[in-house]
């Protein structure tokens, strides 16, 4: 179950306006549409977000979506996920105290969330912290999804 699921494991309803206000951002159709698109398609690249948002906000420019993504990232509402081999950065909703990792298919690129590797945040502890307090550990498990593996046989 993810932070986006309700008690029955179903995707919870998502309203962008309260999230934007709580982050101190003005509610605009563009910002709301991007947040709602990310709720529907976690781990989305900006071009995918642009296509989804264009359905709700006709005529929106790709550069505008880039600007919205930057604003939402700066406000802490979404976070950038950079994965090995991915052609571009992906974005996901950011939830307070949500420290998860990712599993990525090396064939089709599908990305899914996985819980912390071990224990509480930051999950992993370096062999030497060089006097720094570790805030988070980013882990990407590289794998082959079942569908890609079937297609390779």
The annotated binding site is made up of 105, 108, 145, 148
Contact 83, 91 (CB under 8 A): no
Looking at the DSSP bridge assignments, the partners of residue 81 are 90
Residue numbering of the annotated binding site for Zn(2+): 105, 108, 145, 148
Of how many residues is the chain composed? 153
Distances in Å between the Cα of 35 and the Cα atoms of 15, 101, 107 are 9, 21, 28
């Amino acid at each position: 179950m993810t932070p986006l699921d309700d008690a029955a494991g179903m995707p919870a309803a998502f309203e962008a306006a309260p999230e934007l206000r709580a982050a101190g951002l003005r509610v605009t159709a563009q910002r709301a549409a991007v947040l709602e698109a990310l709720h529907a398609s976690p781990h989305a690249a900006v071009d995918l977000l642009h296509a989804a948002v264009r359905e709700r906000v006709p005529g929106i420019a790709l550069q505008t979506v880039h600007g919205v993504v930057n604003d939402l990232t700066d406000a802490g509402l979404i976070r950038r996920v950079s994965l090995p081999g991915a052609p571009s950065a992906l974005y996901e909703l950011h939830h307070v105290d949500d420290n998860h990792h990712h599993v990525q298919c090396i064939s089709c690129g599908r990305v899914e969330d996985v819980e912390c590797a071990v224990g509480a945040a930051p999950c992993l502890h370096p062999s030497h912290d060089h006097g720094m307090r570790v805030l988070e550990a980013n882990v990407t498990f590289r794998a082959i999804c079942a569908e890609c593996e079937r297609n390779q046989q």
